[in-house]
C-alpha cells in the first residue's frame, strides 16, 4: 500500500476563483480508484486553500507520502512542477506523478527538462495510476503500463540515463490506454473532500460541488484542446446514475450548488431531458451551473422551463467571437444570430447567461475591439468575459499564431494576460482594450440592475459584480478603468440584500 498525496498546484489567475471555491474532481476520481486498489490517498487542494509553496512543503513533510501527484492545465504547469520539486527536495524517494491536459500533450518536454518529475499519466488516470503503482511495487514492468511516460533511466532504477547515453534523457511513452467504457462504474471518493472549503460566494452559505456526467466532445473548435484530449470521443453516464450521485451529494454533504465539468453535457437531448425529469420528480433542490453549445439551447427552446425547474441556474455558452468570419475561423460551426437568440432564451427563462469573447488575434485593431464590444452589448448576456486568446502549444490554432506569441511563460496562458500581440496593436494597447471592454460592458449592466424583477436574480447579479470588482484580476486594474460613475460605485459598495 502506498500513501499518495494528491494536490492541486498553487496557481491563481484571479478569475473563476473570484466567484467561489471549487473542488478538483479529477483528484476525487483518482483518489477513489487508488483507494479501491488498496492505497491510501489524501486530497490536498492547496490551490483552493490559498496555500503557498512554503505551506505546501510543510504539509508534504508532515504527511510523509510515498508518492506526490498533481494535475495541471497549461497555466498551472509551472506551479505544479514547483510542488514536485519541493517533494523531491523533502525526500528524494518520493515518487512524483503528474496528470491532466498539459502533461498529456507535453510529456516529452516536461520529462526531459524536469528531473523532479518521475511519471506522466496520459489520458484518463483512474485505471492507469493504480496500475503504475502496482508495477512499481512489483519491481517495475513499467513498459506494460499503458498510458504513462517516464525517463528511460527509471527502468534501470537510477532515474538517470545510462552512462553510454548522452544528450537529454530519452523518454519512454507507453501505448495509450483505451478510454474507460462504462462511466457509471467510476467510484469518486467524495468522502475525502474537505467540504467546508467549497462554496459559491454569490450564493451565501452554499456548498459547492463539481460533478461530471459526460466526458468528451466531438466538435473541433480550433483554439480548444479538450476535444483532442478526449480524441473526439463522447461517453455518457446514465441519467439514473448521475442523478443518484447528485442526490447523494445533497443528502450526505449538503451540496446545494453543482457545476457540471462536462465539455458538452446536453449533446444527447433524450438523455439530458431524462436527467431534468429525474431531478424534477426527485424534488432535489440543487442549483446547476453548466456550459453548453448555442445550438442546444435553440434545440431545447420548448423544454427550457424544465431546465429552470430542475435547478439549472447559470448557463455558459461558448460564443467566443462576434463576427462571423472569426467564428468560422474558430471552427465554432455557429452563426452570430444563433448566439444572440440563445442568450435571449436563457435570459427569458429566468436563468443567468454567460459568454465569452476572445480578443487579441493578430489582425485585432481598436476598431475590431469596438465592434466586439458593441455586439457583446447587443447580445446582452448577464455576464460577458473578454479573454485574451491563449494558444496552447498543442491546439490547432498554435501554428497560425506562433509568430505573434510574445511569451513562453505558461503561467500567463490564463486568458487574462496577453500572450499574443496583434500586428497593429502594442501589448499595452490590447491589454488596456480588454479592461476597457469590461468597464464599458459592466457600467451599462449595473445601471439596469434595479429593473430586474426577480429578486434572486437581482441579488445574484449584484453580488457577482461585487466579487468580480473586489476579488478578481480586475481589482488591480480598477485604477486603469477610469472613473466609475457614482451611481455604479454606490451599487457596488452596497451590501447585497
Cβ proximity to ligand B12, 128 vs 322, nearer residue: 128
Does 8 sit near ligand B12 (CB under 6 A)? Answer: yes
Answer yes or no: are the C-beta atoms of 234 and 214 closer than 8 Å: yes
Cβ proximity to ligand SF4, 34 vs 390, nearer residue: 390
Helix, strand counts (H, E) of the chain: 18, 15
Does 214 sit near ligand B12 (CB under 6 A)? Answer: no
Contacts of 178 (CB under 8 A, 6+ apart): none
Backbone Cα Rg of the chain: 23
Point out the residue whose Cβ comes nearest to ligand B12: 99
CB of 222 to ligand SF4, least distance (A): 9
Task: Name which position in 149, 210, 255, 369 contacts ligand B12 (CB under 6 A).
Answer: 210
Backbone phi, then psi, for 215, in 5-degree steps? -130, 130
Cβ proximity to ligand B12, 99 vs 431, nearer residue: 99
CB of 219 to ligand SF4, least distance (A): 4
The 22-61 contact track toward ligand B12, x by CB under 6 A, reads xxxxx--xx--------------x-xx-------------
318 binds, among ligand B12, ligand SF4, none (CB under 5 to 8 A by kind): ligand SF4
Does 97 sit near ligand B12 (CB under 6 A)? Answer: yes
Task: Name which position in 2, 5, 7, 11 contacts ligand B12 (CB under 6 A).
Answer: 11
- What is the Cα–Cα distance from 137 to 127, expressed in whole angstroms? 16
> Partners of 288 in the beta sheet?
258, 312
State the pairing for strand pair 95-99/67-71. parallel
- What is the Cα–Cα distance from 12 to 85, expressed in whole angstroms? 19
Does 102 sit near ligand B12 (CB under 6 A)? Answer: yes
Answer yes or no: are the C-beta atoms of 496 and 203 closer than 8 Å: no
Backbone phi, then psi, for 486, in 5-degree steps? -55, -45
CB of 72 to ligand B12, least distance (A): 8
Identify the H or E element spanning 69.
strand 67-71
Cβ proximity to ligand SF4, 51 vs 320, nearer residue: 320
CB of 252 to ligand B12, least distance (A): 20
18 binds, among ligand B12, ligand SF4, none (CB under 5 to 8 A by kind): none
Start-to-end C-alpha separation, the chain: 51
DSSP state of 285: -
Answer yes or no: are the C-beta atoms of 66 and 3 closer than 8 Å: yes
DSSP 185-215: G----GGGS-GGG--BTTSTT--EEEE-SEE
The 416-435 contact track toward ligand B12, x by CB under 6 A, reads x-------------------
**Best CA proximity match to 117, nearest among 138, 147, 87, 146:** 87
219 binds, among ligand SF4, ligand B12, none (CB under 5 to 8 A by kind): ligand SF4
Q: Is 1 helix (H, G, I), strand (E, B) or coil?
A: coil
Cβ proximity to ligand B12, 125 vs 169, nearer residue: 125
414 binds, among ligand B12, ligand SF4, none (CB under 5 to 8 A by kind): ligand B12
Cβ proximity to ligand SF4, 179 vs 253, nearer residue: 179
Does 100 sit near ligand B12 (CB under 6 A)? Answer: yes
- What is the Cα–Cα distance from 265 to 212, expressed in whole angstroms? 9
> Partners of 44 in the beta sheet?
7
CB of 327 to ligand SF4, least distance (A): 11
Answer yes or no: are the C-beta atoms of 138 and 44 closer than 8 Å: no
DSSP state of 382: S
The 341-380 contact track toward ligand B12, x by CB under 6 A, reads ----------------------------------------
**Best CA proximity match to 11, nearest among 447, 465, 308, 413:** 413
CB of 343 to ligand B12, least distance (A): 19
Cβ proximity to ligand B12, 24 vs 322, nearer residue: 24
- Provide the binding-site residues for ligand SF4, judged by CB under 6 A: 217, 219-221, 224, 226-227, 263-264, 293, 318
Does 225 sit near ligand B12 (CB under 6 A)? Answer: yes
Task: Name which position in 101, 288, 312, 430 contacts ligand B12 (CB under 6 A).
Answer: 101
> Partners of 172 in the beta sheet?
150
Say if residue 451 is exposed, middle or buried (CB neighbours under 10 Å; 0-12, 13-18, 19+). Answer: exposed
Q: Residues in the site for ligand B12, rule: CB under 6 A? A: 8, 11-13, 15-17, 22-26, 29-30, 45, 47-48, 69, 71, 73-75, 97, 99-102, 121, 124-126, 129, 210, 212, 224-226, 261, 263, 392, 414-416
Amino acid at each position: 500500500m502506498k500513501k499518495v498525496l494528491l494536490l492541486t498546484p498553487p496557481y491563481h489567475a484571479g478569475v473563476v476563483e473570484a466567484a467561489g471555491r471549487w473542488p478538483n474532481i479529477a483528484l476525487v476520481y483518482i483518489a477513489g480508484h487508488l483507494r479501491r486498489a488498496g492505497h491510501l490517498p489524501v486530497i490536498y487542494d492547496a490551490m483552493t486553500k490559498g496555500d503557498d509553496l512554503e505551506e505546501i512543503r510543510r504539509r508534504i513533510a508532515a504527511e510523509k507520502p510515498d508518492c506526490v501527484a498533481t494535475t495541471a492545465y497549461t497555466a498551472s504547469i509551472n506551479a505544479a512542477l514547483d510542488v514536485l520539486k519541493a517533494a523531491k527536495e523533502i525526500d528524494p524517494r518520493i515518487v512524483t506523478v503528474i496528470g491532466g491536459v498539459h502533461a498529456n500533450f507535453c510529456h516529452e518536454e516536461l520529462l526531459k527538462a524536469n528531473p523532479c518529475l518521475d511519471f506522466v499519466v496520459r489520458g484518463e488516470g483512474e485505471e492507469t495510476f493504480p496500475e503504475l503503482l502496482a508495477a512499481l511495487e512489483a519491481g517495475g514492468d513499467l513498459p506494460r503500463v499503458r498510458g504513462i511516460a517516464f525517463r528511460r533511466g527509471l527502468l534501470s532504477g537510477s532515474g538517470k540515463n545510462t552512462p553510454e547515453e548522452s544528450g537529454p534523457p530519452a523518454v519512454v511513452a507507453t501505448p495509450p490506454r483505451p478510454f474507460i467504457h462504462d462511466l457509471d462504474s467510476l467510484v469518486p471518493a467524495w468522502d475525502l473532500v474537505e467540504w467546508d472549503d467549497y462554496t459559491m460566494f454569490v450564493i451565501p452559505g452554499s456548498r459547492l460541488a463539481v460533478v461530471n456526467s459526460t466526458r468528451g466532445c466531438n466538435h473541433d473548435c480550433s483554439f480548444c484542446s479538450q476535444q483532442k484530449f478526449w480524441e473526439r470521443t463522447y461517453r455518457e453516464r446514465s441519467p439514473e446514475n448521475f442523478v443518484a450521485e447528485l442526490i447523494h451529494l445533497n443528502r450526505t454533504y449538503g451540496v446545494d450548488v453543482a457545476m457540471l465539468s462536462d465539455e458538452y453535457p446536453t449533446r444527447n437531448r433524450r438523455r439530458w431531458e431524462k436527467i431534468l425529469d429525474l431531478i424534477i420528480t426527485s424534488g432535489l433542490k440543487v442549483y446547476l451551473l453548466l456550459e453548453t453549445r448555442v445550438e442546444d439551447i435553440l434545440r431545447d427552446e420548448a423544454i427550457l422551463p424544465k431546465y429552470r425547474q430542475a435547478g439549472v441556474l447559470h448557463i455558459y455558452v461558448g460564443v467566443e467571437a462576434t463576427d462571423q468570419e472569426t467564428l468560422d475561423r474558430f471552427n465554432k460551426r455557429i452563426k452570430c444570430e444563433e448566439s444572440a437568440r440563445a442568450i435571449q432564451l436563457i435570459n427569458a427563462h429566468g436563468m443567468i447567461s454567460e459568454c465569452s469573447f476572445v480578443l487579441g488575434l493578430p489582425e485585432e485593431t481598436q476598431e475590431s475591439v469596438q465592434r466586439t464590444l458593441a455586439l457583446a452589448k447587443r447580445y446582452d448576456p448577464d455576464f460577458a468575459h473578454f479573454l485574451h486568446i491563449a494558444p496552447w502549444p498543442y491546439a490547432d490554432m498554435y501554428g497560425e499564431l506562433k509568430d505573434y506569441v510574445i511569451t513562453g511563460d505558461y503561467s500567463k496562458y490564463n486568458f487574462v494576460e496577453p500572450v499574443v500581440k496583434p500586428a497593429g496593436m502594442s501589448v499595452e494597447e490590447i491589454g488596456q482594450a480588454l479592461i476597457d471592454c469590461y468597464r464599458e460592458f459592466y457600467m451599462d449592466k449595473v445601471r439596469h440592475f434595479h429593473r430586474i424583477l426577480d429578486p434572486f436574480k437581482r441579488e445574484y447579479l449584484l453580488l457577482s459584480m461585487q466579487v468580480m470588482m473586489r476579488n478578481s484580476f480586475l481589482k488591480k486594474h480598477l485604477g486603469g478603468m477610469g472613473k466609475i460613475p457614482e451611481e455604479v460605485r454606490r451599487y457596488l459598495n452596497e451590501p447585497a440584500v
